[in-house]
Amino acid sequence: MKVIIYGVTGMIGQLALRESLRDPEVEHVLAIVRKPTTNQHEKYQEIVLPDISDLSQIQDKVTGYDACFYLIGVRSAGMSEADYIHITYELTIKAASQLVKLNPDMKMIYITGMGVDSTEQGPELWARVEGKTENALLRLPFKGAYMLRPLVILPMHGVRSKTALYRILSNVLKPLHPLLKRMKWAITSEQLGQVIVHLAKTGTTKEVVENEKLKEMALSIQK
């Protein structure tokens, strides 16, 4: 299996990359990035693009892939509505629309979060825009498209969020990790990464996978 990852430097991107490289069924991982990273592995390759949504010049290099993990996420706080829509919705759908044309058998895995507004009518900007993005991805003719909505992600193996607030919260909660791991509403970064790779290989009957179902899938995979 060959996968493309967007957002490889973020917390979820890091964990998805880790589990992809560890999985023997994943033979190649291509990261689309704005800036070079320090990642190195025999199965890993990256392409640097100033506009990561414009694949017109590299179509031959992004063809023949089985899955895309689109894991770019930004906080709406402090952003204008136009900027948030551009990053969250417009860039995502532009990239996805090109990928599905080049890879009709591709599965798309997209990360949002609990509270996404699928009606696209709610008062919260982030929930409304994420709902619009999910809906648009589900309408594209991918072989499978899965919207994952985790609630609390417990970082493991040195995976860290780029958001300072999340890093502080993670450090505060670290002593409670053994207890939190047993909660239905919390999932470790390792578990979420394994679910992402598992979905790319096997799919699921649910297109929108809520937090509790994610945890059930994770525990089933680890048995």
CATH assignment of the domain containing 63 = 3.40.50.720
pLDDT, position 82: 95
pLDDT, position 188: 84
Amino acid code (one letter) for 64: G
- Dist CA 187 CA 215 (whole Å): 6
Mean pLDDT of 122-146: 96
- Please state, rounded to an integer, the average pLDDT across all residues of the chain: 88
pLDDT > 50? residue 212:
yes
Q: What is the residue range of 144's domain?
A: 2-222
Mean pLDDT of 98-108: 97
- Dist CA 124 CA 101 (whole Å): 32
Which residues touch 111 (CB under 8 Å, ≥6 apart)? 12, 70, 71, 73, 148, 150
In the three-class reduction of DSSP (H, G, I as helix; E, B as strand; rest coil), residue 29 is classed as strand
| Tens-place pLDDT, residues 40-60 | 999 999 999 999 999 999 999
Return the structure tokens found at 101.
Answer: 């044309």
- Dist CA 95 CA 102 (whole Å): 11
- Dist CA 169 CA 137 (whole Å): 31
pTM for the full model? Answer: 0.87
Decide: 76 and 84 in contact? Cβ < 8 Å: yes
Amino acid code (one letter) for 135: N
- Dist CA 163 CA 7 (whole Å): 14
| Tens-place pLDDT, residues 87-102 | 999 999 999 999 999 9
pLDDT > 50? residue 168:
no
- Dist CA 139 CA 72 (whole Å): 20
pLDDT, position 96: 98
| Tens-place pLDDT, residues 171-199 | 555 555 555 555 565 788 888 999 999 99
- Dist CA 81 CA 22 (whole Å): 38
CA 86 to chain centroid: 17
pLDDT > 70? residue 163:
no
Query: Which DSSP string corresponds to 79-103?
Result: S-HHHHHIIIIIHHHHHHHHHHHH-
Q: Which of 8-22, 65-79, 172-186 has the lowest mean pLDDT?
A: 172-186
pLDDT, position 116: 95
Instruction: Report the number of distinct structural domains present in the chain.
Output: 1
Decide: 108 and 144 in contact? Cβ < 8 Å: yes
Confidence of residue 162 (pLDDT cuts 50, 70, 90): low
Return phi, psi of residue 34, to 5°: -85, -30
What is the percent of the chain where pLDDT is above 90? Answer: 67
pLDDT, position 78: 79
pLDDT > 80? residue 151:
yes
Return the structure tokens found at 24.
Answer: 């023997």
- Dist CA 36 CA 154 (whole Å): 27
